[in-house]
Structure 1
């Protein structure tokens, strides 16, 4: 890829909801359904984290979207034609591609449907759903990042908090024909919240995204360049979330090994009893 505009300045610190005005927000009182394998659920609670995938590397289920977070095919030519004054060989298309490779998402459904229970069900112990109070989850994560309590670690070195935190409802469009750059070049975050209507509209997804600037390089004090991993773990206290109803309930999936799940929840101090799906 051509060289992007560079600077020796300190890396820009991440912001909390800087693009809220560009993204569709849920109504107050919205709940989220996060369905995953029982094994991943237990690992997340025990490890105290929310799992974020880099949007250009979704491979956690067979029909994952290989175009997730990608600029629209109808936009690419126009984006490629738009260059930077100080780096004419680095186009807006390069900028969007690099932004995508530095963007992570935690995804949940707005509705409890049969479709959401197709996730995480291919493991030996089945799947489970966590029901989040979105308003409380949002407040918890905003406090976490504002306090400086969350940051990327690279090679054991804790870095500055470089990620913008955003929330939004995904818009499902005709991938082949939709355009986002007809009147102006869009903010890169817009591509994170667009998906192909045909195969993915049933998801009814809300995303929490962490995204770093798509220009320049991020380096440590010793000039080692940071490589953005395929996954990020954001610190999250599940026990506190159970106690204050940020997580309202746990739903056992159709093939869930409920005995195992109940045993593990008791061991981990989760004061919730899983219920069967409706």
Structure 2
């Protein structure tokens, strides 16, 4: 599944995704904030060459050490109350069901607000080492918002172009006591709230800002032939890395301690990223 820039999308009954509809519910960093996205050299070059930002479905973090199996999940203290709240027109479908389905339709691109030793653990098992891209958050946000304005982007599913159904949001993750924190004490929260909560005891060192793409957690999304759209583990959002390097959206590429600098430099040159300043941690 991929979100791409298109001139026009065929009309469908599905609502078009919105840009920052939940901004008032989320915390944003100050102006001038830098983001540190560390990944393997191979994954970095693949993203640049094929022109995308890689998003993971938040309920899919399972198969690596330290993975947050509860990412995007409703809090354990909330679940009983959420399960007791049903929809008037669908009494068999509870708020807990709604939050679970929303989670299965939410994707995240994660970066760090600080350049710490912890961020350099990501992508470190690669033969070519790892590399960190330093983004200017304000420029990145402006670029993605322009792309996903209503009518300016489409969703590709199994080679078919569809209406863009994902809401785009940005926020700093809030770290809480996962076992005791409640988000539904006063009222049922918006599903986006759960996508920006993590356990402080395990994950506070991440200092994460995430960009989320989330689809409505009610109903089903189908193509014109009634084929149901499933939500794969990964989603790619079109992104022009060459333009981002040129206009300062990406300030530099920082090499990890075991990075193959010669290989990375040669590949960046081949890909036309000639304005990149390669630094070292």
TM-score range with shorter-chain normalisation?
over 0.9
1:51 aligns with 2:54: yes
What residue ranges of structure 2 are gaps of 5+ in the alignment?
Answer: 1-11
Per-residue Cα deviation, 1:197-224 (whole angstroms, up to 9, x for no partner): 0110000000000000000000001110
Query: How far does residue 159 in structure 1 lie from its aligned partner after superposition?
Result: 1.1
* Alignment-derived partner of residue 161 in structure 2: 158
Query: How far does residue 273 in structure 1 lie from its aligned partner after superposition?
Result: 3.2
Correspondent of 1:108 among 78, 101, 111: 111
Taking the aligned partners of 1:73 and 1:220, their CA distance within structure 2 comes to 35
* Alignment-derived partner of residue 174 in structure 1: 177
* Alignment-derived partner of residue 204 in structure 1: 207
What residue ranges of structure 1 are gaps of 5+ in the alignment?
Answer: 1-8
SS at match of 2:236: strand
Normalising by structure 2, report the TM-score.
0.94
In the TM superposition, structure 1's runs of 4+ consecutive aligned residues that sit over 4 Å from their partners are none
TM-aligned CA distance change 1:268 to 1:59, over 3 Å: farther
CA contact (8 A) 1:125 1:257 kept: yes
TM-aligned CA distance change 1:212 to 1:147, over 3 Å: closer
Q: Alpha carbon RMSD of aligned pairs, Å?
A: 1.1
Query: How far does residue 147 in structure 1 lie from its aligned partner after superposition?
Result: 6.0
* Alignment-derived partner of residue 133 in structure 1: 136
CA contact (8 A) 1:126 1:256 kept: yes
Taking the aligned partners of 2:229 and 2:150, their CA distance within structure 1 comes to 23
* Alignment-derived partner of residue 6 in structure 1: none
1:274 aligns with 2:261: no
1:72 aligns with 2:75: yes
1:90 aligns with 2:93: yes
Taking the aligned partners of 2:44 and 2:151, their CA distance within structure 1 comes to 25
* Alignment-derived partner of residue 240 in structure 1: 243
Query: How far does residue 151 in structure 1 lie from its aligned partner after superposition?
Result: 2.8
Matched residue pairs, number?
Answer: 269
* Alignment-derived partner of residue 7 in structure 2: none
Normalising by structure 1, report the TM-score.
0.95
Taking the aligned partners of 2:49 and 2:166, their CA distance within structure 1 comes to 25
